[in-house]
Structure 1
Amino acid sequence: MSRPLSSLLATACALAVPALAHSRPLTLTAQLKNYGGDGAYIAAYLTDAKGAYVKTLWVAGGKAKYHKHLSDWSRLSAGDAKRLDGVTGASVGAGRTLKVTAELADALIDAGYEIRLDAAAEDMRDSPSEVRLPLSTANAGKPQPGKQYIQSVTFEFK
């Protein structure tokens, strides 16, 4: 390899690797209301500034036949074949807390992205986009109320 080409390749790698490494864990905590029903299915996902789906952070509730009741998430993420890879767990009971940690790129923070949560419970009304929380440093640690099943949601960066 010629010296100029190898120098160019080394410089490109040196610039690219830190860009990939700049991410941080985000811990999302959702406190559910005592709504008096079965465990809730919850989808926590990220959308961009235009409301387009970016990625699924977590889905609480493992039976796929009920995921259609998480309607905004289901509709927006339908084209993401990997939307459930490693991001599912049990439903969350009334009055309980869901705590999830996800790795997010620093470039997404304070860039117009939103964390959204859809919620549904068996034999009860679905609640699409129950919580919409701007992904910003100003919102970190500040509780955001839910509409129907979720008492509050907070997120923190580590």
Structure 2
Amino acid sequence: MNKLHKIITGTVFGLMLSVSSFAQTSNYKCMVQMESYKGEAAYVIISLIDPKGAYEKTLAVLGPDKQWYNTLKEWYKFQTKTKEKISAVTSASIGGGDRSIRTISIDDAKLNKGYTLRFESAVEEQKYHIKDVEIPLTTQAVTERATGSGYIRFVKLNKAQ
């Protein structure tokens, strides 16, 4: 009986360790409020940027037509190289003065490790903003309102329960 107890205890302990080692993600409600500008609806890309400044993952694409993705030049280079599947994170573009609320998933292991959330924006026949908003992926910064420098007025994230 003692041997069986040790085997069961060891198995349970091993399972607990393996479950805790899986990457855990948190969902964040992300509100993007646009400036009141004239022109077509903006395409906005939300990307996870690694500590060296390189694209790691596309978190959301606000703009449904693939034909316009090349107007988001820097992200498009990454996208065509990696051929990342983005259909699950694609939604409607956002017009001037409008807002969009999306849920994005972020790997908890990336928090406080030098990663950044980048919001790129482009409007047909107007200027492209590679860093319309950048938010350091830190415990404090993800809860603060971040002001845009292009078509985005501000971004606000809230951790979803």
The answer, yes or no, to whether TM exceeds 0.5 is yes
Aligned to 2:57, which of 39, 55, 59?
55
CA contact (8 A) 1:71 1:118 kept: no
- Looking at structure 2, the residues matched to 43 and 12 of structure 1 have their Cα atoms a distance apart, in angstroms, of 40
Structure 1: unaligned runs, 5 residues or longer = none
8 Å CA contact retained: 1:48, 1:112: yes
TM-score, normalised to structure 2, is 0.85
Alignment size in residue pairs: 156
Report the secondary structure of 1:79's partner residue: helix
Match among 144, 147, 150 for residue 145 of structure 1: 147
Deviations 1:45-83 (A, max 9, x none): 101111121211111111111101112211233333234
Between the aligned partners of 2:38 and 2:62, the Cα distance in structure 1 is 18
Given that 2:58 and 2:86 are in contact with CA atoms closer than 8 Å, whether structure 1 keeps it comes out as yes
With 77-86 and 127-136 compared, the bigger mean Cα shift is at: 77-86
Of residues 84, 87, 97 in structure 1, which corresponds to 2:86?
Answer: 84
| Structure 2 partner of 1:128 | 130
Is residue 30 of structure 1 aligned with residue 32 of structure 2? yes
TM-score normalised by structure 1 residue count:
0.87
- Going from structure 1 to structure 2, the CA distance change for 1:21 and 1:125 (only over 3 Å counts) comes to closer
* Stretch deviating more after TM superposition (133-142 or 17-26): 17-26
AA aligned opposite 2:76:
S
What is aligned with 2:41? 39
Distance change >3 Å, CA 107–CA 123, structure 1 → 2: same
The answer to whether the Cα contact below 8 Å between 2:69 and 2:76 also exists between their aligned partners in 1 is yes
Consecutive unaligned residues of structure 2, counting only runs of 5 or more, are none
Q: Would you say the 8 A contact 1:131–1:147 is kept in 2?
A: yes
The CA distance in 2 between the partners of 1:116 and 1:77, in whole Å, is 15
Instruction: Please say if 1:114 is aligned against 2:109.
Output: no
